[in-house]
Amino acid sequence: MTTAPRSALITGASAGIGATFARHLAARGYQLLLVARRADRMRELAAQLTEQHKVRCEVFAADLTDPASPAVILRHADEQGLHIDVLINNAGLSGKTAFADTPWDTLAGEIQLMVTAQTELAHHVIPGMKERRWGRIVNLSSVAAFAPPAASLLYTGIKSYVLNTSQALDMELKPHGIHVTALCPGFTHTEFHDVMGTRDKANHLPGILWQQPEAVVAAGWKAVQNGKPVCVPGLVNKISAAAMKPLPIRLAYLAGKTLNPFKNS
């Protein structure tokens, strides 16, 4: 009896870490549902992956700053007969102006994209994963999640939410065969800074701080497969995270697991 290939949903899949995850998983035989705003970029990537790896690769254009998008994406997956075994919550952005000077619609979109949509997608795919007793979720956080709050930016707080929520979900879901990992990269060579308009500032940073997306993805996928709830890829980032956080990552996780209010319910 032939086992159906597993399927992965990847957001922010048109470039950078998202596109690199698509290549990484396609090479391992996963069916893919690629989601981003730029359909042309995704169609080009999907054609390459289908030709190279002979895997099914669907494309769905959506803007996750729209509150309706998560439900629409998951309905499309159902219509295509794709049961989501892997969720890569990668889509993200960062504000460029002070909080008080930024229109509320822009701030609301940032929260919708990186908090609400990410959480909603996870909530909807988890029941199927539990039923199949297998699932992998990678939530893109950042080494910034370990840093003190930054003036005017929501980014640090949002990425801290992603870090903490991922660990909480991993504690809850691991008995059901589901691993959840917060992937916390530092500066990565992608189009992110070009899109955000921060390329000039980024170019002045020392080269030692930067990683290639392939290294970030390889570390993140290995971590989620091995059941590690937090992945900080790269030695420099590990040192930075350890220096900024009062408790070692593993000890903080174990402390939170011990204090779980639902463990005896």
Buried/exposed code over 8-24 (b: 16+ C-beta within 10 A; e: otherwise): bbbbbbbbbbbbbbbbb
pLDDT digits (tens, 9 = 90+) for 98-156: 888 999 999 999 999 999 999 999 999 999 999 999 999 999 999 989 887 766 678 88
- Read off the pLDDT band of 244 (50, 70, 90): confident
* pLDDT over 50 (residue 193): no
- Nearest Cα residue to 136 out of 57, 50, 222: 222
Compute the average pLDDT of residues 64-71.
98
Tokens of 262: 């639902």
Given 30, 54, 130, 159, the catalytic residue: 159
- Read off the pLDDT band of 177 (50, 70, 90): very high
Torsion of CA 219, 13, 116, 83, to 10 degrees: -90
User: Rounded CA gap, 147 and 240, in Å?
Assistant: 9
Given 30, 130, 155, 257, the catalytic residue: 155
What pTM value is reported for the model?
A: 0.86
Type of residue found at 117:
A
Sequence ranges of the domains in the chain: 7-259
**Between 245 and 104, residue with greater pLDDT:** 104
The percentage of residues in the chain with a pLDDT greater than 90, rounded to a whole number, is: 68
Pairing of strands 210-211, 7-11: unpaired
Compute the average pLDDT of residues 57-66.
98
Tell me if residue 155 is catalytic.
yes
User: Rounded CA gap, 67 and 116, in Å?
Assistant: 8
134 touches 216 (CB < 8 A): no
Architecture of domain 7-259: 3-Layer(aba) Sandwich (3.40)
Query: What's the confidence (pLDDT) of residue 173?
Result: 98
Q: 123 by DSSP, 3-state: which? A: helix
